[in-house]
Amino acid sequence: MPQPPPRDAAPALPAPVQRKPGLHTLLYIEDNPANMELVEQLIADRTDLRLLKAGNGSSGIELARIHQPQVILMDINLPCITGFQALKILHEDPVTNHIPVLALSANAMPHDIAKGLAAGFLRYLTKPIKLDELMQALDAALAVARKLQ
């Protein structure tokens, strides 16, 4: 009969997600349904992306741990924990610290952007979303993700 693991053993990490060649996972963490729908429509034509959605930072962190997306797009003003707090958790976790994270926020002042980049976001995009800027940022994040694989 197999022995149970010791009580102080670390929890098992989720099994790696089966990846299809050429298909990348984008996790979008956003609490506003209209913004979520807009991004979903904007990337619908990208056959290289599969979209996962989370409505708050906590569920986004859990989805990132389980599904290991290549890129995370995250709102800054999230309920419960902010995008900055979620980014810090993701960066401190060895399971998720390699995932490039893009900020998306209505906070568009130069000091907001500088603060976001200093915190470790790969890019800081502002709302309203500019399609070309979003696609370029996604491509840059995918390029970073490929180098880290």
Q: CATH number, domain at 83?
A: 3.40.50.2300
**Structural domain span for residue 47:** 24-148
DSSP 67-125: H--SEEEEESS-SSS-HHHHHHHHHH-TTTTTS-EEEEES--SHHHHHHHHHHT-SEEE
Q: Is residue 38 part of a domain?
A: yes
Separation CA 112–CA 41 (nearest Å): 27
Burial environment of residue 71 by CB neighbours within 10 A (0 to 12, 13 to 18, 19 or more): buried
Both tokens of residue 16?
A: 């790696």
1 belongs to a structural domain? no
pLDDT in tens, 15-71: 444 455 679 999 999 999 999 999 999 999 999 999 999 999 999 999 999 999 999
Residue 86 in domain: yes
Q: State residue 95's pLDDT score.
A: 96
Tell me the per-residue pLDDT of 111-132, one tens digit each, with 9 for 90 and over.
Answer: 999 999 999 999 999 999 999 9
- pLDDT tens for 67-95 read 999 999 999 999 999 999 999 999 999 99
Number of domains in the chain: 1
